[in-house]
Amino acid sequence: MTHALADTKPTTRNRAEIAAGYKWDFAPIYADWTAWEQGMKDMEAKMEAFAALKGTLKDGAAAILHAYRLYDEIGIIQYRVFRYPQLQRDTDTRNQEIAGRLQRVQSLFAKFGTATAWFNPELLAIPEPTMRGWLDTTPDLAPYRFPILDAYRQQQHVLDEKGEKLLSYATRFNETPRSVYSELSTSDIKFPTITLSDGKEVTLTPGAYQSILATNYNQADRAKAFEAYLKTYEATKNTYAAIYRGILERGWFMSQARDYPTTLARALDGNAIPVEVYTTLVDTVRAGTMPLQRYFKLRQKILGLKTYHLYDGQIPLVKDDTVWPYQPARDIVRASVAPLGAEYQAKLSELLDGNRLDVYENEGKRSGAYSAGVYGVGPYVLMNYNDTQDAVFTFAHEMGHAMHTRLSEENQPFVTADYTIFVAEVASTINERLLLEKLLAESKDPKERFLLLQHAIDSIVGTFYTQVLFADFEYRAHTLAEKGEPLTADVFSELYGSLLKSYYGEAVSLDELYRYTWTRIPHFYNSPYYVYQYATCFASSAQLYKTMNTGTTGERAAATDRYLTLLKSGGNDHPMEQLRKAGVDLSKRETVQAVIDQMDELVTRLEAEAEKIK
């Protein structure tokens, strides 16, 4: 069902008063909570049926096929029973009844992990040549060929049934450091209140802090906010250090338990990513920071600052009050993907018109934006659209994720429909680039062009350089744990401070408190060795965009087809191989260097536009 949408943002933050066309429709997942309860029962029954298959895999190809198909059925239900409360919880985080239902799902998932601990050891007890014979002679097993053979690839790291069961008991315990971090950094944190130069009092929640950095042109106000905000984290630095030490030691324990030489090797092995991809990325970027430093010096000059600090990095270089309403933004984003073909554009239009976007902020709604898939139903996109240029680019970004999910689900069986994080940010950043180039091509206004170029540069700063700095810190911190070195707040702060100097050089006056930034980066605690993938995806999308827009008409069309094939591939191969098929080789230093060169070119273009608007 579609609804007519107004051009203006709702004035209310009361969700009940926001028009239905701007909100999610959960009915495609479950009709109501009664249907959801039945889904929970169905999943539990199938879990019991799966557990009863223990000991049958040796019986042959038919037994293998039956187990995998049942596993798929459980997985499909998992998506639905999880997303139904999770999405609703995110529209109102205050609803404790829904939060309780989500906890029930998580408990059931933990139980499932223990109930299936026998599967991989039993599967791998079958000799690989025997298994290959069954795969070759059983056409119905074709969808499972890649995951089965990938399990054999990692066989040396799988324990026996007793060992796997023992590790499964630690599943919920392993979440403890993350939970402690969440409570300390959100539930128990007391954010300070400061008085700005205009006399206004502001409580420095994360959102308020970011707003000051992004909108307040008084450097003294930004400095005051920075100092108060970072001191909040610095005050409990030893507790954060103890939590992070737990993260690092957990990682080293799991790596040793599964016989990996390092935590990095274990983190990358699941997707068969060579360790050299990570180290080459870090080494290349650390050696390629001159365009970044050049940009900071340009910012300092344009802003007229005697000294330049990291808290000066988010303020727009040109003041702009342009309003970007949601309805026109939908049309712009829809039009920007035309180079990907009529079919892609039509499918994106269906998502835009199908109550799959939760558009505006409301009281209790979680912040930020994301795209979440539900296999067999499709993607749901959360936004907090605020009529800014950044919101339009975030919109395009999330629709890239949504289309990746849709194309994967439509072209892959369940077992290989889920694409890896390693390729997840490619589609989103391609869509951002398409939007950028469309807007630049249509704009003759130097000020507008300047703002667009600044957005593109800031994307490289945030998605590429900053994430690699984070990845560099993680790698060094985990290495300290592996060597049995001290893991204290002072050690982490010294390490982070040294990296700031390496990346930013003399272009930034490094305030002492920035050494404590590691305390407030959620990815360090929630998902170790994750952030580097933002940078590899950014490099991949830059290469793909280039090939889709250079050469003859036929060459561009072929490159676009390879890209769309990547989006349709889900997880049917290792991500490095998927990217190679699309035309990207991340093992090559020049793939990473291309982003550094692009940054240099964009800064040059920004300088030229700056001269026009003096």
Contact of 252 with 480, CB cutoff 8 Å: no
Catalytic residue among 398, 432, 448, 609: 398
- Quick one: which of 589, 582, 584, 601 has its CA closest to 543? 584
Contact of 244 with 518, CB cutoff 8 Å: yes
Helix (H) / strand (E) containing 396: helix 389-411
Structure tokens at 293: 């430093």
Distance from C-alpha of 533 to C-alpha of 440, rounded to nearest angstrom: 28
> Tokens 């920004």 identify what position?
606
Q: How many CB atoms sit inside 10 A of residue 553's CB? A: 7
Q: How far apart are the first and last CA of the chain?
A: 50
User: Active site includes 398?
Assistant: yes
401, 404, 407, 410 alpha-carbon torsion, rounded to 10°: -70
Q: Tell me the one-letter amino acid at 524.
A: F
Q: List the 357-358 sheet strands across, edge first.
A: 357-358, 378-382, 370-374
Sign of CA dihedral 159, 163, 168, 171: negative
- Phi and psi angles of residue 520, each rounded to the nearest 5 degrees, phi first: -120, 20
- Computed on alpha carbons and rounded to an integer, the radius of gyration of the chain in Å comes to 25
Helix (H) / strand (E) containing 378: strand 378-382
Distance from C-alpha of 296 to C-alpha of 603, rounded to nearest angstrom: 10
- Quick one: which of 390, 383, 371, 368 has its CA closest to 324? 390
Q: How far is residue 274 from each of residues 18, 189, 473, 597, measured CA to CA in Å?
A: 48, 39, 19, 24
Distance from C-alpha of 240 to C-alpha of 70, rounded to nearest angstrom: 42
Chain length of the chain: 614
Q: How many CB atoms sit inside 10 A of residue 290's CB? A: 14
Contact of 292 with 503, CB cutoff 8 Å: yes
Structure tokens at 298: 């340009």
Half-sphere exposure of 72 (CA within 13 A, CB side): 19
C-alpha 82, offset from chain centre: 19
Contact of 77 with 87, CB cutoff 8 Å: no
C-alpha 387, offset from chain centre: 23
Distance from C-alpha of 237 to C-alpha of 219, rounded to nearest angstrom: 26
Q: How many CB atoms sit inside 10 A of residue 171's CB? A: 14
Distance from C-alpha of 152 to C-alpha of 156, rounded to nearest angstrom: 8
Which residues belong to the active site? 398
